[in-house]
Chain A
C-alpha cells in the first residue's frame, strides 16, 4: 500500500518537473510576450498543483498539507491577475505580434479615452463621451 502511494507521489512530482521543462522550452522558442506567457504559466498552475499533491502525499502531518494547499490556492488566485496585467501592458506596448493574432478586439486608434485600470493616481480624467463617439465611428466604418 505504501509503495503504491509512493509511486503515485513520485509520478506527480515527475509530471510537474516535466511541465517546468516544457515551460522553459516554450519561453525560449515562442515568438512574442503573449505566447511566451502561455507557455510559462503551465507550471504556474498545473505543475505547481501536481507537485503540491505529490509533496502532500509524501509529507506526514496535517500542518504541511494545509500549507501546501495554501500555496496552491495562492497560485490559482494570483496567476490570472498577474497574467491579465502583464498581457494588457504588453499589448499596449506593442510587444504582441499582431500579425499572428486571429481576433484582435483591443485594436483602437490614437489616445485612450477610458481608464483601463493600470493608471497612476495622478492620471488625467477620462472622457467617456469622446470614447463612445470614437467607438461609434469605428462601428460605422466598413
Chain B
C-alpha cells in the first residue's frame, strides 16, 4: 500500500462517513435519497481506485452495475413520492401521511 493509496482511501472514507451521517440525520426522505446516491458513487469510486492501484480489472464490471443501480433507485423513489403527492389535496403531501416539510420546520426558527 503506497502513500497515495492511503491518502485516496482516507479521502473516500471521510466522504462516505459524512454521507452516512446525512443518511442517518435525514431530515426528509429526499435528503436520504441524495445522500445514498452520493454514497453509492463514492463506493464505486473506491472500487475504481482499488482497481487502478492494484492494476486488477476484476471489479470493473461491478462499476457498470453500481452506476446503473444508483440511477434506478433514486428515480424510483422520486416517482413513488410523486405518486403519493397526487393523492393529497394540499399539494405537498402533508395530509396523506408524509412527514412535515423542511421549509416549515426550518422557517419557524
Majority-rule SS of B interface residues: helix
Q: Are A59 and B30 in contact (CB under 8 A)?
A: no
Q: Are A118 and B48 in contact (CB under 8 A)?
A: no
Majority-rule SS of A interface residues: helix
Per-residue B-contact encoding for A59-80, CB less than 8 Å = 1, 0 else: 1110110011011001100110
Q: Are A9 and B38 in contact (CB under 8 A)?
A: no
Q: Are B34 and A86 in contact (CB under 8 A)?
A: yes
Listed in ascending order, the chain B residues whose CB lies under 8 Å from chain A are: 4, 7-9, 11-12, 14-19, 21-22, 28, 30-31, 33-35, 37-38, 41-42, 44-45, 48-49, 51-53, 55, 57, 60-61, 63-64, 67-68, 70-71, 74-75, 77-79, 81-83, 85-86, 89, 91-93, 98, 101-104, 106-107
Listed in ascending order, the chain A residues whose CB lies under 8 Å from chain B are: 9-10, 13-14, 16-18, 20-25, 27-28, 31-33, 36-37, 40-41, 43-44, 47-48, 51-52, 54-55, 57-61, 63-64, 67-68, 70-71, 74-75, 78-79, 81-82, 85-86, 88-90, 92-99, 110-112, 118-120, 123
